[in-house]
Amino acid sequence: MGQLAFVDDDRLFDGTCVRFTGMDGDRRVTCGVTIVALKECDPGLQRHGLVPAESFLASFDKLIVPIHDAARRKYSEGAVEAEGAVEIMVHQRDLAP
């Protein structure tokens, strides 16, 4: 596996995570970060009740560097999800210091 590169404006909230795309050469790798990770790592994000999609996207933008770093690390380690559309999922534990 190579190194992942990201397009910063490529992100979508799907109700369970914020998805983003990494590129390994010509190969597209679907990545995501869980809403739990965003809620736990962004103190400004509302934790309870209905949270608008825009708030999750704003939180993703705020945490983009550590999220991308965690996705790159997981990809290079081959830590691919066993099933589902998201190949590399960033969890709270992946963002912890």
pLDDT at position 8 is: 67
Q: What is the pLDDT of residues 4-24, one digit of tens each?
A: 999 767 899 999 999 999 999
Q: What is the pLDDT of residues 39-83, one digit of tens each?
A: 999 999 988 888 999 999 999 999 999 999 999 999 999 999 989
At the topology level, CATH places domain 5-95 in Double Stranded RNA Binding Domain (3.30.160)
Q: What is the DSSP string of 35-80?
A: HHHHHHH-TTS--SS---HHHHHHHHHHTHHHHHHHHHHHHHHT--
Domain spans of the chain?
5-95
